[in-house]
Amino acid sequence: MVTYYSQSCPVCGRTLQVRVQYLGRQISCRHCHGEFTAADSTNLKTASSTRLMRRVDELLDIGND
């Protein structure tokens, strides 16, 4: 069974169905042939938000010293 997720092409903006097995690999859009890295944006946002919140906590701790 093949599992897919949706990702927008950063070049043309079309939504693509990408196989999970391609995560982290260089792929190309079948519409515009733009190349980019396959990444699940929901996980990227969560990871980015977590890093951001850690940094906010660090800065608040520095300000309280």
pLDDT in tens, 1-33: 888 999 999 999 999 999 999 999 999 999 999
Give the pLDDT band of residue 61 (cuts 50, 70, 90): confident
Measured CA to CA in angstroms, residue 33 lies from 7, 11, 14, 36 at distances of 15, 9, 11, 10
Contact (CB, 8 A) for 51 and 20: no
Instruction: Provide the 3-class DSSP secondary structure of residue 20.
Output: helix
Domains (range + CATH), the chain: 4-63 (2.20.28)
Query: Which phi-psi region, left, alpha or beta, contains residue 24 (left: φ > 0; alpha: ψ -120 to 50)?
Result: left
Give the pLDDT band of residue 47 (cuts 50, 70, 90): low
- pTM (2 decimals)? 0.58
Instruction: Identify residue 32 by its one-letter amino acid code.
Output: C
